[in-house]
Amino acid sequence: MEALAARGLRRFLEPLESAQGALVRVGGEALINFASNDYLGLAASPTLRAAAAAALEQYGVGTGASRLVAGDTVAHQRLEARLAAFERSEAVLLFNTGFAANTGILPALVGSGDAVFSDALNHASLVDGCRLSRARVVVYPHADVEALARALEETPARRKLVVTDTVFSMDGDHAPLAALVALCREQGAALMVDEAHATGVLGPRGAGLCEELGLSGQVDLRMGTLSKAFGGMGAYVATSRPVAELLLNRARPFVFSTALPAALCAAAEAAVDVVEGDVPLREKLWRNIRRFSEGLRALGLPAEPRSAIFPVILGEPEVALAAARHCRERGLLVKAIRPPTVPEGTSRLRFCLSAAHTEGHIDVALEVLRGLRGTRG
């Protein structure tokens, strides 16, 4: 712990004293929250609260068992059916978290004699899922389709699976999805994508980058979370019915975990209705994204309105920590992101935009960053 602290890499917890939202209370202070993945401001939504409360009365607090034993409920079945309709897929299987989904799906699909090809900046859950699979793992340079093509050609394997985030969680950029789909078809590889930071944000109905590009039916597995734009907890994979059946039988986090509380399933079902039906809410998020992006560029900082995630890269951990303190002292909650979450030399502030932010909130953030740039020259 002392060694971590000396390198500026020690972590600690800061409990909120309020519900999640654009404004939160931390340590007795009211802060504008730019640290949350609550992209549509649904985490404290009255609609989701009411749905959860009704299910809580019907089903109680806990489920008492895994779904394969006695933990399955009508609420789980309803949510899977609703998500399958939302994703326009044959089937959906629920998991308790995105981390559980990724570390369960990959080992269930590939193993010894197979090869999995993973983008260098994939989320830690995908990295760990690859490791747990016991397949040969080939890491290709970030978003480098040519390098991936060479790796696919040069790597002998019984089965080949390419896995990538669609929106990368620390940089906010997109995977070259159309090129990946074409390459996987050409090479006979399967393709799995993690839409965690795209679901609810991208696409005409909020179904992610696959929907945005018209590629949903050409991707073998699409993982989405219920804990970001959907405002709740849990995850799911949208895929074919045979693959969903295989995962139900072989994905260890699904088989051996107590099921999600039914109240969370009911809240998620309500969230899907909001995400799909409330187009103005997503439009508000994108107005905020564009406003912040334009403001960052006016400050001379690189920014593109590709997602709700904006990194302000500062270099070393101590610099990022000092910048986070500067923001806190001026009323912003924004966290320093440091290795191993990001590569060495790229410690940063990570700003996340929400539909719950007002124009005033965004302008305050830009003014604080203007002051930060002034202190650093």
Report the C-alpha gap between 292 and 305 in whole angstroms.
Answer: 8
What CA–CA distances, in Å, run from 189 to 83, 115, 142, 157? 26, 10, 18, 10
Distance CA 203, CA 179 (A): 18
| Rounded distance between C-alpha atoms, residue 12 and residue 26, angstroms | 13
Catalytic residue among 197, 284, 357, 361: 197
Structure token pair of residue 41: 């401001």
Buried b / exposed e across 66-81, counting CB within 10 Å, b at 16+?
bbeeebbbebbebbbe
Which strands, in side-by-side order, build the sheet including 347-352? Answer: 309-315, 347-352, 336-337
Helices of type H across the chain: 2-6, 46-59, 74-87, 98-109, 124-133, 145-154, 177-187, 209-212, 241-250, 252-255, 262-277, 279-298, 317-329, 359-376
Secondary structure element (H or E) that encloses residue 34, with its range? none
Q: Residue 134 to residues 108, 168, 331: CA-CA distances in angstroms?
A: 10, 24, 47
Residue 197 bears catalytic tag: yes
Q: Say how far apart CA 100 and CA 259 lie, in whole Å.
A: 12
**What do you get for the CA distance between the two ends of the chain, in Å?**
33
Active-site residue, from 76, 123, 174, 228? 228
169 is catalytic: yes
The upper half-sphere exposure of residue 238, i.e. CA atoms within 13 Å in the direction of its Cβ, equals 28
Q: Please give the C-alpha separations between residue 249 and each of 95, 105, 220, 254, 328, in angstroms, as whole numbers.
A: 13, 11, 18, 8, 47
Residue positions annotated with a catalytic role: 169, 197, 228
